[in-house]
Amino acid sequence: MAFIPHTESEVAVMLAAIGVSSIDELFDEIPPSLRVRSLDGIPAALNEMEIGRLMSARAQCDGRPLSFIGAGAYEHHIPAAVWAVASRGEFYSAYTPYQAEASQGTLQVIYEYQTMIASLTGMDVANASLYDGASALAEACLMAVRANRKSQAQRVLMPASVHPHYRKVAITAAGNQAVSFEAVPFSQGEGRTTAAALAPFDGQDITALVIQQPNFFGVLEDVDALADWARARNIFVIACVNPTSLALLKPPGEWGAGGADIVVGEGQPLGVPLASGGPYFGFMTTRMAHVRQMPGRVVGRTVDVSGRDGFTLTLQAREQHIRRARATSNICTNQGLLVTAATIYMSLMGPAGLARVAAVSHARTSELIAALTRLPGVRAAFASPYFHETVLLLDRPVAPVLRALADRGILGGFDLAEHYRGLGHALLVCATETKTSADIERFANALGDLMEAARAA
């Protein structure tokens, strides 16, 4: 709500109706020792015009830097129609369908979204949404423990090439529920998981294997070989995917001979702005055989007594709707507004549009890598295919280089030093369809100048 609409006289009438003399009396059960009487340091109130100028000035402090950061959040062009529609009052404030009979428009949007995501991933059924990609992966690990009846171990193989933030969230959310996560190293030369890395687990009771495609380094995993290895050992395959890449790459439902069992990912690339880190939304799809173990909501299509099409909440395996002990998830956030934007985005783009976005993003990254690796002291880290980001190795620490680039209005990528010290001076860079040849040339020239100046110093 943009403003508080009640006048002092209206407030007085409401207080009289409920039998109290002041608003403070409504909170008299709070002990005086816990009350804050004043907020020191808070400036005097501003009027609407003044606060508007202040917020505009603060926003301008961020500037408009040229960004080559990916690492799980990607800058894509969002057609103006996406948020023009998603911001309509019918969607903007009514994104959770608590009353199905009064939420037909919202339910239809979710139904269409589920259909699109299931088609994109090559799976049978999708849920409404999850909080983000990381929590979706955590939920998938818990779901695999429930659904894989051939395993009693509650052990999940988590490759080191999976996004480090996703790994931390999964361990935090599922690790306290007796799920153990076991690291699988990646090939230093290829930047991906190999059969040799999985060999030590042969003959052991393993519940699930996580496969991220593309992985955190942007490298394409050999998903067919990994999925077949897991399937032959009664291990569930949890795919963690970039939805944009699926416009070009084989969907997880077709990996190997049997496909993935559960597919999750971050939906931000589908029409959701970067927005300083959120809000985003996670997606999840699975096989029909496992649908009752899937958290969240499932919207179905039916007909009413008059034979007209209608939509309903077909499956609601959350603690809001059933006994807490039987719930598949206690994370109740439904990112319906973001899902609405993603549905509009996918509808506008269509299969051909998504494929163009993916193809141009890959082409821009190839152009970027070619330009940067021509510079002395810069080389590619891995000799493997990639999608729209990859790792470069510099001949000096990355952090000072990134700070110097930022001073020139360029966000030059993601420093991997904190998460992958063994890689050396490693920099993850990304380009999407939003980057032009002139942008890439500007980045290459700035990086070249900095590297040359550092060598001359």
Is the sign of the CA dihedral 183, 186, 191, 192 positive or negative? negative
Extents of the domains making up the chain: 66-77+350-456, 80-346
* pLDDT over threshold 70, residue 319: no
Is the pLDDT reported for residue 317 higher than 80? no
Q: Which residues contact 356 (CB under 8 A, 6 or more apart)?
A: 433
pLDDT at 20 over 80: yes
More confident residue, 329 or 88: 88
Where would I find the beta strands (DSSP E) of 260-405?
262-266, 282-286, 297-303, 309-316, 378-380, 389-394
Q: What fold does the segment set 66-77+350-456 form as a domain?
A: Aspartate Aminotransferase, domain 1 (3.90.1150)
Helix or strand run (H / E) with residue 57: helix 48-61
pLDDT of residue 318 exceeding 70 = no
- Average pLDDT, stretch 38-63? 88
Percent of the chain at pLDDT > 90 equals: 77
Angle at the Cα of 65 (from 61 to 68), degrees rounded to 5?
A: 145
Q: What local confidence, expressed as pLDDT, does residue 1 receive?
A: 39
The pTM (predicted TM-score) of the whole model is 0.89
Lowest mean pLDDT among 202-211, 310-319, 341-350: 310-319
pLDDT digits (tens, 9 = 90+) for 89-124: 888 876 666 676 778 888 899 999 999 999 999 999
183-224 pLDDT, tens digit each: 999 999 999 999 999 999 999 999 999 999 999 999 999 999
User: Can you give the pLDDT at residue 202?
Assistant: 96
Is pLDDT at 33 greater than 80 in this prediction?
A: yes
What are the phi and psi torsion angles at 375 (to 5°)?
A: -80, 140
Question: What's residue 241's pLDDT?
Answer: 98
Confidence of residue 450 (pLDDT cuts 50, 70, 90): very high
Decide if 153 contacts 145 (C-beta within 8 A): no
Nearest in space to 412 (alpha carbons), one of 457, 358, 360, 449: 449
Task: Pick the closest to residue 316 from 97, 121, 131 (CA basis).
Answer: 97
Average pLDDT, rounded, for the chain: 92
Residue 446, helix vs strand vs coil: helix
**DSSP code at position 130:** B
Taking residues 307-324, what's their average pLDDT? 74
Contact 95, 106 (CB under 8 A): yes
pLDDT value at residue 22: 92
Mean pLDDT is highest, among 2-16, 237-251, 302-316, for 237-251
Looking at 3.40.640.10, 3.40.50.150, 3.40.50.620, 3.40.50.2300, the CATH number of the domain 80-346 comes to 3.40.640.10
Cα–Cα distance between 126 and 148 in angstroms, integer?
Answer: 19
